[in-house]
Structure 1
Amino acid sequence: MAPLYDIAVVGYGPTGLTAASLLGRLGHRVVVCERWPGLYGLPRLTHIDDETARTIQAAADIDEALHDSSLCQYVWVNGKGETLVRIPATPEGSMGYPDHISMYQPDVESAIDKRLRGYGTVDVRQGWAVTGLDQDADGVTLRLRGWNSDAISADGPHDQVRARYVIAADGSRSGLRELLGVERQDFGFNEQWVNVDTEWLRPQPAEFAYGTQYCDPARGHMTINIGHTRQRFEFALLPGETREEMTAPETAWRLLRDYHDLGPDDVRITRRLVYGFEARIATRWRAGRVFLTGDAAHTMPPYLGQGACSGIRDSTNLAWKLHLVLGGQAPDALLDTYEAERRPHVTAITHAAIGLGKVANTHDTEVAAARDAAFLAGKVPLPPPFPPLSDGVLRPGTDAPVGTLTPQGRIRLADGRSGRFDDLTGYGFALVTAEDPTTALGPERLALLQRLGCAVVALDTVDDLGGRHREYLQRLDAVAYLARPDFVLFGTAADSRDLGALVDDLRAALSGTVEAVAV
C-alpha cells in the first residue's frame, strides 16, 4: 500500500517549495516529488514584488531568504540610450517590503527548504520522477521512477505515493499536465534570448545597480542586478543565430564587451543559457484532484518580472483552501474558486507582459522610431495596476474594495513583543478591528473564527507602529476588515452591527460547511 499523504507536490521550484512550506506549516502531511536530486542552485528568477516577499515571509525566514537583495528600479531606453520610461522602486510598499526587489533565487529556495524540513510533516523525495497517476474518489496514486540527472532510470528504483490531492508545480514542460491531457492556449509570443549570469569581481558600478531594458531594433538586450554582487545580462537572438553559437563562452564575452565594455577582470560568468520566452495558459487548471500551478498552468514573457510571482500567488491561493477542505471546514467545491480567482488575474498580467515584450522586441527601425516618439512625448501610459480579484471567496454587495490586497505594518503586542504583523498574528485569516469585537460578535462567531484559524486583532489593544492598519481602516471608512490568508480583502464592516454580518458572510462564502451561527 502506497503511503497516504494529504497533499503531494510535484516539482520543487519556487511554486512547489512555497506550497509545501505553507501546507506543512498548517500541519498537513505533504510529500514532495522532484526529479532533480538537489535544489537548482542557480538563479532563474531575479525579481519579486512586495506581495511575493510577504508570502515568502510566511514560508521561510524572510531575512535569511533576502539577505542579498536590493531595490530594483527599471529603466527602459531606446537604441540611442534615451530614457523611454522609468519605473521607480518604493523602499517600503504596503506589504512592508520594497515593491520591486532584486534577489538571489538560491537564497530564497534554500531558506524555504530549511523551514519546511523543520515541520516534521513534509517528506521531500528528490531524485524521483513521476511517470504515471491514477485517480479515484478518495485520492491520487503517483507512480515514481528514479532519476539519474539525465533521464528516467528504466532499470532503477520505482515506488508510488498516494495523496488526497496533488499540486502540479513541475514547470512549463509539466509531465503531469501531459499525463492529464490538458492543452494550452498559445498567445503567439515566442522569442529567444541568451542569458549570461555573472558575479562582480569588483564593487558593482552604479549604472548596473538597477534593471535596464534596451529597446534597440538592432538587438534588444537588458541587464538587471541580482542583489549587490551579481548581474544578469540578456540578449535577443537574431535570425540565423543558433542556441549552440549563442551559449559559447567566446560569444558571451563578445556580447559583454561590445554592449557593456566588460571583460574577465570585471565579472566571472556563472551561467550561459538560451531561454524561450512564451505566453501560454492551460485550458483548465484542475483535473479531478490534481491542480496545475505556476509555469505548469501559465507562462508569460519576463518583462514585468511576474512569472515566479504569479506561481507563488497560485500556491498561497490554493494552500489555504486545501487546508479548509482537508480539515472539514469547507467542501471540495471551494477548490474550484482557485482557477476562478487566479485565471483572470494571471491572464491580465500575461497580456501586459506581452505588450511590453513587443516594445522590447521591435526590430523594424521605422516602427521603433514611432514608438520612441510616442514614449518621449508622454503618450504611452505605464502598465495598469494589477487587477483585483473579482470572483470567488469575496463578500458580496459592498462598495469596499474587496479583492484588493491588505497592508502589513509593524505592531507591538501588550506583552511587549513587536515585529511584522504576520509574524505576530500567524498565517491565516485576520480580522482587524478598531475596538474589541467580543460583544459585537458573540461567543459562537468567535468560536467559528477560531476554527478557521482567524486571528482577531483589536487595534485598541496593540500599538500599531507607524499607524498603517489604522490608516487603512480610515481609508476603508470601516470599523473592521477581514483579510484572507493570501492577504486579499474579503470584506469590511461599516459598524458593530455589520461586524457580525461580515463573519456570517465569510461562513456563507465557504459554502456553509461550518455550522450556522445564531444571531
Structure 2
Amino acid sequence: MTPLYDVAVVGYGPTGLAAASLLGRLGHRVVVCERWPGLYGLPRLTHIDDETARTVQAAGDVDEALHDSSRCQYVWVNGKGEILVNIPANPEGPMGYPDHISMYQPDVESAIDKRLRAYGTVDVRQGWAVTGLDQDDDAVTLRLRGWNADAVCADGPSDEVRARHVIAADGSRSGIRELLGVQRQDLGFNELWLNIDTEWLRPQPPEFARGTQYCDPARGHMTINIGHTRQRFEFAVLPGETREEMAAPETAWRLLRQYHDLGPDDVRITRRLVYGFEARIATRWRTGRVFLAGDAAHTMPPYLGQGACSGIRDATNLAWKLHHVLGGLSPDALLDTYESERRPHVTALTHAAIGLGKVANTHDAEAAAARDAAFLAGKVPPPPPFPPLRDGVLRQGTDAPVGTLTPQGRIRLPDGRSGRLDDLTGYGFTLVAAEDPTAALGPERLARLERLGCAVVALDTVADLDGRHGEYLRQLGAVAYLARPDFVLFGVAADSTDLGALVDDLDAALSGTPAGVAV
C-alpha cells in the first residue's frame, strides 16, 4: 500500500525547501519530489530581505546560511552615471537582520536541506519527476517517473506517492500547474537579459561591493555583489540580438570588458544564461488539495528583489495553516485564506517591480532624458511601502496596524538562555505582553493558547536586550500583541481587560467559530 504523507512538496528550490522544512519542524510527514538529482548549486537569486532571513532562521541554521553575505546598498544611475535612486544598506532592520542582504543561494539552500533532513519526518526524493496526479476526497496521488538528467526527460522507473495536500513549488514552468489546467494572467512585461555570474580572482573592488542598476538607454545593465567573493552582471538583450549570440562566451567577455574593464585575470565566469523577465500570476492558486506557490503561482521582474522573497512568504503562510488543518485545530476553509492573503500582496509588489523595470528598460534616448530630469529634480515619489495583509486571519474592528510585520529582537529568559526571540519561543504564534498575562487570561485561555502552540513572552519577566519589543508595544499603544507564525500582526490588546478578547478572537479566527462561542 502506498504510504500516506501529510504533505507532498513538488520542487526543491527556495520555496519548496522552506515549506518542507517548516512542516517537518512541526512534526508532519512530508515527501519532496524533485526531478533534478541534487541541489542546484549555483545562485539564481542574490538578494533577500530581513523578513525572508527570519524565515531562513526558522527553516535552517541562519548563521550558516548567511555566512558569506553582506548588507546590500542599491544604487540606480543613468547613462551618465548620475544617481537617480539611492537605497541605503540599513545594517539591521526590525527583524534583526539587514533590510537588504546580498547572499549566496547555495549556502541558504544547503543550510535548510541539512536542517530538514535531521527531522526524520521529511522524505526527500530527488531524481523523480511528477508526471500525473489524481485527487479524491481524502488525498492526492502523484505519479512519478525517474528523471534522466542527461536526456532531460522522465524515462526512468515509475512510482507514486500519496499525500493529504500538495504544495506545487516547481517553478515558472510548473508541471503541476499544467496538469491542473490553471492559466496565468500576463501583466505585459517581457524582457530578455543576459546573466553572468562570476567569482573574483582578486579582492573585490570597493565599487562592486553594492548593487548598481545602470539605466542607460543604449543598453541597460546591472551588477550586484554576491556576498564578498562573487559578483553578478546582467545586460539587456537589445532588438536584433539573439539568445544564441548573447549566450556565447565571447559575448560575455566583450560586455564585461566594455562596461566594467574586467577580463579573465579579474573574474572567473561560473554561470552564463539568457533570462526572460516576465510578470505573470496564476488565475487560481488552489485546486482542491493542491496549492501553487512561488514561481508556479507568480513571477515578477527582478528589479525589486522580491521574487524569491515572495515565494518564501507563500511557504510560511501555507505551512502554519496546513499544520492547523492537519492537526484538527482549524477547518479546511482556513486554507482558502492563503490565496486571499497572498494574492493582493504579491500583485502589488509585481506592479511595483514592473514600474522599476520600465525605468531600467527605457531604450528611447528622449524618454530616458525626460525620466532622468524628473528623478534629478525630485519629482518622482519614492516607491510605496510594502502593503499589509488586508483580509484573512486578522483581528478585525480595531485601529491597530494588523497585517503588518512584527519585530524580532534578542531576549534573555529567566533561566539565563538568551538569543533571538524566535529561537527561544519556537515556530508558532507568539503573545508578547508588557506584564505577565497569567492572571488576566486565566487557566482556560492559557490552555487554549497552549493547544494552539502559542508562546507567551512577558517583558517584566524576561530581559528585552535591545528594547525592540517594548518599544514596539509603546508604538502600538498596547499592553500586548499577538504575532502569527509568519510574523504578521494578528492583533493587539489595548489594556489588560482586552487580553482575553484578543485570545478569544484568535481562537475564533482559527476555528471558524464566532467569537464568544465555546469551542
Deviation, 1:511, is 3.4
- The one-letter code matched in structure 2 to 1:284 is R
- The one-letter code matched in structure 2 to 1:113 is D
- The one-letter code matched in structure 1 to 2:414 is A
SS state at 1:18 partner? helix
* Structure 2 residue aligned with 1:100: 100
Q: Is the 8 A contact 2:504 2:515 kept in 1?
A: no
Q: Is the 8 A contact 1:445 1:517 kept in 2?
A: no
* Structure 1 residue aligned with 2:4: 4
Q: Structure 2 matches for 1:406-485, cutoff 5 A?
A: 406-485=406-485
CA distance in 2, matches of 1:172, 1:517: 44
Q: Is the 8 A contact 2:167 2:290 kept in 1?
A: yes
* Structure 1 residue aligned with 2:242: 242
Identity %: 87
CA distance in 1, matches of 2:270, 2:415: 48
* Structure 1 residue aligned with 2:89: 89
Deviation, 1:89, is 1.5
Cα shift readout 1:231-274 (whole Å, capped 9, x = no counterpart): 00000001111111111111110000000000111100001000
* Structure 2 residue aligned with 1:68: 68
Q: Is the 8 A contact 1:165 1:289 kept in 2?
A: yes
CA distance in 1, matches of 2:389, 2:365: 40
SS state at 1:352 partner? helix
Q: Is the 8 A contact 2:505 2:515 kept in 1?
A: no
* Structure 1 residue aligned with 2:319: 319
CA distance in 2, matches of 1:119, 1:152: 31
The CA RMSD over aligned residues, in Å, is: 1.2
Q: Structure 2 matches for 1:68-217, cutoff 5 A?
A: 68-149=68-149, 150-154=151-155, 156-217=156-217
CA distance in 1, matches of 2:237, 2:409: 44
CA distance in 2, matches of 1:104, 1:513: 45
CA distance in 2, matches of 1:20, 1:516: 35
CA distance in 2, matches of 1:103, 1:514: 45
CA distance in 2, matches of 1:88, 1:319: 33
* Structure 2 residue aligned with 1:357: 357
- The one-letter code matched in structure 2 to 1:402 is V
Q: Is the 8 A contact 1:168 1:176 kept in 2?
A: yes
Cα shift readout 1:159-215 (whole Å, capped 9, x = no counterpart): 000000000000000000000000000001000000000000111000000000000
Q: Structure 2 matches for 1:494-505, cutoff 5 A?
A: 494-505=494-505
SS state at 1:40 partner? coil
CA distance in 2, matches of 1:49, 1:417: 27
CA distance in 2, matches of 1:453, 1:269: 48
Structure 1 residues 388 and 153: alpha-carbon distance in aligned structure 2, compared to 1, 3 A threshold = closer
- The one-letter code matched in structure 2 to 1:484 is R
* Structure 2 residue aligned with 1:385: 385
CA distance in 1, matches of 2:283, 2:361: 27
- The one-letter code matched in structure 1 to 2:506 is L
Deviation, 1:512, is 3.5
* Structure 2 residue aligned with 1:233: 233
CA distance in 1, matches of 2:172, 2:153: 19
- The one-letter code matched in structure 2 to 1:74 is Y
CA distance in 2, matches of 1:518, 1:16: 37
Q: Is the 8 A contact 1:35 1:146 kept in 2?
A: yes
4+ residue runs over 4 A deviation: 513-519
SS state at 2:511 partner? coil
Q: Is the 8 A contact 1:133 1:142 kept in 2?
A: yes
Q: Is the 8 A contact 2:129 2:154 kept in 1?
A: no
Cα shift readout 1:71-114 (whole Å, capped 9, x = no counterpart): 11110000111111101121000000000000000000000000
Cα shift readout 1:438-484 (whole Å, capped 9, x = no counterpart): 11111111111101110001010000001100000000000000000
SS state at 1:461 partner? coil
Q: Is the 8 A contact 1:389 1:403 kept in 2?
A: yes
- The one-letter code matched in structure 2 to 1:473 is L
* Structure 2 residue aligned with 1:278: 278
Cα shift readout 1:10-56 (whole Å, capped 9, x = no counterpart): 00000000000000000000000000000000000000000000000
Deviation, 1:287, is 0.3
Deviation, 1:516, is 6.7
Structure 1 residues 518 and 35: alpha-carbon distance in aligned structure 2, compared to 1, 3 A threshold = closer
CA distance in 1, matches of 2:381, 2:419: 38
- The one-letter code matched in structure 1 to 2:390 is S
Aligned residues: 518
TM-score, scaled to structure 2: 0.99
Deviation, 1:518, is 6.3
Deviation, 1:407, is 0.2
SS state at 1:284 partner? coil
Name whichever of 246-255 and 308-317 sits farther off.
246-255
* Structure 2 residue aligned with 1:258: 258
CA distance in 2, matches of 1:312, 1:368: 35
CA distance in 2, matches of 1:38, 1:243: 27
CA distance in 1, matches of 2:191, 2:512: 48
- The one-letter code matched in structure 2 to 1:502 is L
SS state at 1:39 partner? coil
Deviation, 1:515, is 11
Deviation, 1:4, is 0.6
* Structure 1 residue aligned with 2:43: 43
- The one-letter code matched in structure 2 to 1:292 is L
- The one-letter code matched in structure 1 to 2:215 is C
Deviation, 1:151, is 2.9
CA distance in 1, matches of 2:511, 2:409: 31
Q: Is the 8 A contact 1:482 1:492 kept in 2?
A: yes
* Structure 2 residue aligned with 1:340: 340
* Structure 2 residue aligned with 1:375: 375
Deviation, 1:152, is 3.0
Cα shift readout 1:423-444 (whole Å, capped 9, x = no counterpart): 0111100000011111111111
Structure 1, gaps ≥5 residues long? none
Deviation, 1:330, is 0.1
